[in-house]
């Protein structure tokens, strides 16, 4: 390969990579602006810190959300647990223990990972967004919380065709959890009572 050919290849690589990187932020902003509700399925797993660490189990389930602050995040495996918010309060229901914890939603979403999918459209108020390149066939961007009291150091979002397919959540202890989304449906029809939580009969209720 001649020097001229090498230079042409290098320029082409830089141009193509620059286009791909820019697409991540553009895709994400378009997703946030145009997606008022969505539903789908997910898997979640914590990455191992070293080769000698035990493999953590994969959690899986389904989700549905409507902006701002309404969602149902239902873990089905390996344990049955439900996180549900009606816009005012967050309900955490452990089905095995028949126990419900109720928290005021308020500004709790703020700089949390949930704000990416479920919060308001004003994400740049709480996050610093930057391009993170192409990996695993996805266009990635990083979201760093501006608040110092959040438990997450960085959230990475991988997108394809304007839809988030993966999130990597790095906490302040150096642990990274990986979420993958499938069967993602944008703006489905949702019932008016979709997010109303009915406390199960006989459940132990803990209000915080």
What's the Cα-to-Cα distance from 63 to each of 19, 53, 107, 118, 183, rounded to whole Å?
32, 29, 21, 11, 10
Nearest to 67 by CA among 8, 123, 127, 120: 120
pLDDT value at position 5? 34
Residue listed under structure tokens 């438990």: 151
**Residue 99 is encoded by which pair of tokens?**
């126990």
Q: Which CATH number fits domain 35-49+57-189: 3.30.2320.50, 3.40.47.10, 3.40.50.2000, 2.50.20.10?
A: 2.50.20.10
pLDDT value at position 13? 34
Sequential pLDDT tens for the chain (208 residues) = 543 333 333 333 333 333 334 488 999 989 988 999 999 999 999 886 555 566 788 999 999 999 888 999 999 998 899 999 998 998 999 999 999 999 888 755 655 677 777 876 677 888 899 999 999 999 999 998 887 777 788 999 999 999 999 999 898 888 899 999 999 999 999 987 899 999 999 999 999 8
Residue spans per domain, the chain: 35-49+57-189
pLDDT value at position 110? 56
pLDDT value at position 23? 81
pLDDT value at position 164? 93
pLDDT value at position 145? 85
Dist. CA 75–CA 54, nearest whole Å = 22
pLDDT value at position 114? 74
CA angle 15, 25, 90 (to 5 degrees): 160
Contact 158, 136 (CB under 8 A): yes
In a 13 Å sphere around the CA of 158, the CA atoms on its Cβ side amount to: 15
pLDDT value at position 126? 80
Contact 157, 144 (CB under 8 A): no
HEC profile of 103-167: EECCCCCCCCCHHHHHCCCCHHHCEEEEEEEEECCEEEEEEEECCCCCCEEEEEEEEECCEEEEE
pLDDT value at position 21? 41
């Amino acid at each position: 390969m001649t020097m001229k050919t090498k230079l042409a290849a290098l320029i082409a690589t830089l141009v193509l990579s620059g286009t791909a990187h820019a697409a991540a932020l553009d895709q994400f902003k378009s997703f946030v602006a145009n997606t008022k509700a969505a539903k789908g399925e997910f898997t979640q797993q914590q990455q191992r810190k070293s080769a000698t660490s035990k493999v953590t189990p994969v959690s899986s389930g389904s989700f549905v959300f409507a902006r701002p602050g309404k969602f149902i995040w239902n873990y089905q495996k390996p344990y049955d647990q439900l996180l549900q918010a009606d816009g005012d309060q967050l309900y955490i229901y452990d089905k095995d223990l028949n126990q419900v914890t109720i928290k005021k939603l308020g500004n709790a979403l703020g700089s949390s990972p949930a704000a990416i999918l479920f919060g308001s459209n004003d994400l740049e108020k709480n996050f610093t967004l930057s391009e993170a390149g192409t990996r695993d066939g996805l266009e990635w961007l990083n979201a760093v919380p501006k608040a110092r009291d959040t438990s997450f150091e960085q959230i990475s979002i991988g997108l394809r065709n304007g839809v988030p397919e993966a999130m990597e959540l790095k906490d302040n202890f150096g642990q990274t959890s990986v979420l993958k989304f499938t069967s993602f449906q944008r703006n489905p029809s949702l019932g008016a009572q979709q997010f109303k939580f009915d406390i199960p009969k006989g459940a132990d209720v803990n209000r915080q």
